[in-house]
A and B are shown apart, each in its own frame.
Chain A
Amino acid sequence: MPILEGEKVTKYFGGLAAVSNVDFHVDQGEVVGLIGPNGAGKTTLFNLISGALGLNSGVIRFKGESIGGSKPHKICRLGLARTFQEVKIFANMPVMQNVLLGSLFGTPSGMSAANAAKEAAELLDFVGLSAVRNTPAGGLTLANQKRVEVARALATKAELLLLDELMAGLNSTETAEAMELVTRIRGRGVTVFMIEHVMKAIMGVCDRIMVLHHGEKIAEGTPKEIATSKTVIEVYLGE
């Protein structure tokens, strides 16, 4: 059974269909990639799933429950967390508090302060930021700020993690580390749905890839199928 599924998901901005009649599904334990040219509607689709935006029509179900139109904090507490394309961290708060917020507020049943702190410390260790736990998050490098976002999202005991361009703006070493992080996230049993422009990364870590173009799904398949698909090469990858 898919952990996340969408049927005819549609969102208009004025007269423009940013996402139009998109059907999708993500199965438990999968790593699914979402690619497409700029303005294809990838982030909009993530915003619809995470509750940042409301749907115009269609249905989105998470663990069988319809979440279209729910508030972001409710969706988060159901076990669906996300990161952002332009990092949204609490820049003046210590790294530890950034993550603590997720474990204090985002978990389905709530947590005691002691357990939340333990959870946050464990996740800082997981993403490799224990050493900077007391530094204001705004003082970290972009790669590490993105790790703060990942730790905060995981701290909510997320079962599904939406990663919006985790690797954008990172150098090649950092990209490789980020890929390794995605693999380890999956190792924790967390399902991953990720938007990415770095082809090497997405081909390397994803089980399945979806391609959006002008708000419509134009292709879906294994990395190999996508890499050789004629339509995808035409609109996105190039010769």
Chain B
Amino acid sequence: MDISVFGSRKLWVAGLALLILVALATLPFYGSLYMTILMTAILMYIIITVSWVIFSGPSGYLSLASAAFFGIGIYASAILLPTTGAVLPVLVVVLIAGALSFVVAVLVGFLTLRLRGIYFAIFTFGLVELIKQFLLFWEFEVTHTRGRYVLLVDSRTIFYIMLGIFVALILTAYFIRNSKFGLALRSIGENEAAAAHSGVNVTMVKVITFGISAVFMGMAGAIMATRWTYVDPYIAFNPFFSFMPVLMAVFGGLGQFYGPIVGATIFAYLEEVLLTTFPYYYMLIFGCVLVATMLFMPKGFTGLIQKGWKRVSGGQQHANT
């Protein structure tokens, strides 16, 4: 293996990432307000998807609790940032929402991570319903309100906070993937019993990662609520946000670090385009795209690109090895 080629590739990737980051950070200065808002939505989807992948990707535990953690963030924001005036600064609220989601995820994790396969998926999905129903009951019986209005926050502020969460998440995901912790998580996905017998505290690794993934979902929810300005339990705990990250990650491809990012970006953009141009057929077209993905791109979009790349550069790679 040629080390200099390896090193330069890493440098190249880092340079590209930096370029994208700079382009994103300066977007409000050269792009329209619409673009800033669209980019906020795309970032939100990327955040939910990548944080889902942090846990469910390597461990093989299919979590459908994303909507629950996202919703907890939304409601934390709705309670701490009422239209009557912010109780705390927006950024602090976002951090509190992340912490809250973490705590709930860890508690739920200790209870449910002994469940495997479909049982875990169903339970996590039940969590979304449970919190939703509880809030509905609470609003109906205790506060006698329906939903909450959230303080309006400047679109640029929302965008920059979302971008900040995104950067923190990408760094976290990268470090987990390349650390000893990530190795343990992958070994759990491959064979949990063998991991436990090789000294991995499987419960701890699973619960902590589940918690970390929830932090970012909660934070994204908290800042997104300020953009939606009105939320109720149905909006906040929409099952859509549980399935979306799974679909986006699968669409992008789980084999590569950037797969889910690419998947979420394309999907989020596609949704926006379809929703604005074909408001009535949007779901139908969406479904067709998904079916096509499953049929023709089993390794996702990035898998397809890699396959194509190998075909193009096949001769070259062969010469190198």
Contact = CB atoms under 8 A, between A and B. Distances in A.
Given A90-B186, A90-B187, A92-B190, A101 B197 contact: no
B168 interface: no
Contacts of B289: none
A97 B197 contact: no
Interface stretch (B156-164, B198-206, B299-307): B198-206
Given A93-B186, A100-B183, A50 B197 contact: yes
Contacts of A90: 186-187, 190-191, 194-195
B184 interface: yes
B195 A101 contact: yes
A149 B198 CA distance: 10
A107 interface: yes
Contacts of B191: 88-91
B196 interface: yes
Contact of A71 (B184, B196, B198): B196
B180 A104 contact: yes
Q: Interface centre among A90, A91, A113, by most B CB within 10 Å?
A: A90
Contacts of A155: 198
Q: Interface centre among B184, B196, B201, B202, by most A CB within 10 Å?
A: B196
A177 B202 CA distance: 33
Q: Give the interface SS of chain B, mostly helix, strand, loop or mixed.
A: helix
B190 A91 contact: yes
A195 to B, nearest CB: 15
Interface in A75-94: 76-77, 81-82, 84, 88-93
A68 B195 CA distance: 20
Contact of A72 (B180, B186, B187, B197): B197
B200 A101 contact: yes
B11 interface: no
Contacts, number: 79
A52 B197 contact: yes
A106 B199 contact: yes
A215 interface: no
A contact residues, range? 20 to 34
A71 B184 CA distance: 16
Contacts of B197: 50-52, 72-73, 76, 81-82, 84, 88
Interface string B214-246: 000000000000000000000000000000000
A17 to B, nearest CB: 24
A91 B195 CA distance: 12
A152 interface: yes
Contacts of B199: 73, 76-77, 101-102, 105-107, 156
B contact residues, range? 10 to 19
B115 interface: no
Contact of A105 (B186, B190, B198): B198
B187 A106 contact: no
B193 interface: yes
A215 B111 CA distance: 34
Contact of B201 (A73, A81, A92): A73
Q: Interface centre among B193, B197, B200, by most A CB within 10 Å?
A: B197
B198 A76 contact: yes
B200 A73 contact: yes
Contact of B183 (A52, A92, A104): A104
A90 B191 CA distance: 6
A162 B190 CA distance: 22
A88 B188 CA distance: 11
A216 to B, nearest CB: 26
Contacts of A89: 190-191, 194
Given A88-B191, A93-B186, A104-B183, A152 B198 contact: yes
Contacts of A113: 180
Nearest to A52: B193
Contacts of B202: 73
Contact of B196 (A72, A93, A107): A72
A66 B194 CA distance: 22
A11 B174 CA distance: 44
Interface of B: 180, 183-184, 186-187, 190-191, 193-202
The 10 A-B residue pairs with the shortest CB-CB distance, nearest first, are A106-B199, A88-B194, A105-B199, A90-B190, A72-B196, A76-B199, A102-B198, A105-B200, A88-B191, A72-B197
13 contacts: A72-B193, A73-B197, A76-B197, A77-B199, A81-B197, A84-B193, A84-B194, A88-B197, A89-B190, A91-B191, A104-B180, A107-B199, A149-B194
Given A73-B202, A88-B193, A101-B198, 20 more contacts: A52-B193, A52-B197, A72-B196, A72-B197, A73-B201, A76-B198, A81-B198, A84-B194, A84-B197, A88-B191, A89-B194, A90-B190, A93-B186, A97-B183, A104-B180, A104-B183, A104-B184, A106-B199, A149-B194, A152-B198
Interface of A: 50-52, 71-73, 76-77, 81-82, 84, 88-93, 97, 100-102, 104-107, 113, 149, 152-153, 155-156
